[in-house]
Structure 1
Amino acid sequence: MKRFKLLHNILLATLASTCLLSLNVAYADDALKMELTVNQVIKNAEGKIIYSPVRTAPAGTVVQYKAIYTNTINKDINDLMVTLPIPTNMTFTGEALPASAQASTDGKNYADMPLMRKVNDKLVKIPLSEYRSLRWNIKLLPANKSATVALNTTVN
């Protein structure tokens, strides 16, 4: 049974998570704080979704990576681009919050989901297993406020 190690994935996601601030305004290095949580996604008997902190999980477990970005300065931040990687031992489920996320198979080129490619002169959907990261454009992050992005994955 394959298992994932929470610490490794948090470190990977934290290191690979990037924030690109609009270039027309200079911000202090500490203008943005990011908090990453990793939770197992569980549906209870009533069909309600419950999120439970997880350290290890067997293959097939649905895990949510959620990043909360907080503007720590007294000035609005415009056009904030944030990216979360999909760890190599995980497969994206297709669920992202907000749903406006763009996806990438290489971490460089992003497009709206579902990602498509040409095969035998036909456009076909790229399998979710090939998605490597998601990116969101937070148009406005007001002073001293937070924005949350999340993606769900399945342990391979």
Structure 2
Amino acid sequence: MKRFKLLHSVLLATLASSCLLNIAHADDALKMELTANQISKNADGKTVYSPVRTAPAGTVIQYKATYTNTINSDINDLMVTLPIPANMTFTGDASPASAQASIDGKNYADMPLMRKVDGKMVKIPYSEYRTLRWNIKLLPAKKSAAVALNTVVNK
């Protein structure tokens, strides 16, 4: 069974995650914490999130980034981006659902992404999604906001 090293992906996702702040705010105005959790069901059928470093193919992993405003004023129109790690496939589940997606990391659109094939508009498979981004309209002073995406470890 092929195992994927998630710690490496978490570190890459942390480095690749970008935040575009209003020009008036300093670089240290925002703190980001990224976690990787395996998603499973317990005996009662409730969803359980467990920290994970490695996982076999087929495992569902949620990457969650929590952004904390560390200054004493609000941050408006904060754009945050999370890459989908290599060897992972996006499941289509994102929180908040207002995320936009990209297959190239440059051009974003509302989900599901579409393209023209033989004159017809068709959905782009989730396996081609590479990055998601969110616009956090308002992050109040000293408060946090979280975004998350679910992936599956490729076979």
Q: Same fold (TM over 0.5)?
A: yes
Pairing of 1:99-138 with structure 2 (within 5 A): 99-138=97-136
2:59 corresponds to which residue? 61
- Does residue 44 (structure 1) correspond to residue 37 (structure 2)? The answer is no
1:85 corresponds to which residue? 83
For the residues of structure 2 that align with 1:146 and 1:2, how far apart are their CA atoms? 36
For the residues of structure 1 that align with 2:65 and 2:48, how far apart are their CA atoms? 17
2:15 corresponds to which residue? 15
For the residues of structure 2 that align with 1:147 and 1:116, how far apart are their CA atoms? 29
State which drifts further: 40-49 or 30-39. Answer: 40-49
Once the two structures are TM-superposed, the CA of residue 45 in structure 1 deviates from its matched residue by 2.4
For the residues of structure 2 that align with 1:45 and 1:125, how far apart are their CA atoms? 35
Query: Matched residue pairs, number?
Result: 154
For the residues of structure 2 that align with 1:97 and 1:2, how far apart are their CA atoms? 28
Structure with the largest fraction of strand: 2
Cα displacement string for residues 4-53 of structure 1 (whole angstroms, at most 9, x for unaligned residues)? 21221111101110001134xx2111100000000000012222100000
For the residues of structure 2 that align with 1:128 and 1:94, how far apart are their CA atoms? 7
TM-score between the two structures when normalised by the length of structure 1: 0.96
1:94 corresponds to which residue? 92
Identity %: 82
4+ runs deviating over 4 angstroms: none
Q: How well do the aligned residues superpose, as a CA RMSD in angstroms?
A: 0.8
Once the two structures are TM-superposed, the CA of residue 2 in structure 1 deviates from its matched residue by 2.1
For the residues of structure 1 that align with 2:7 and 2:29, how far apart are their CA atoms? 25
For the residues of structure 1 that align with 2:9 and 2:19, how far apart are their CA atoms? 18
TM-score between the two structures when normalised by the length of structure 2: 0.97
For the residues of structure 2 that align with 1:83 and 1:44, how far apart are their CA atoms? 31
Once the two structures are TM-superposed, the CA of residue 121 in structure 1 deviates from its matched residue by 0.6
For the residues of structure 2 that align with 1:81 and 1:2, how far apart are their CA atoms? 35
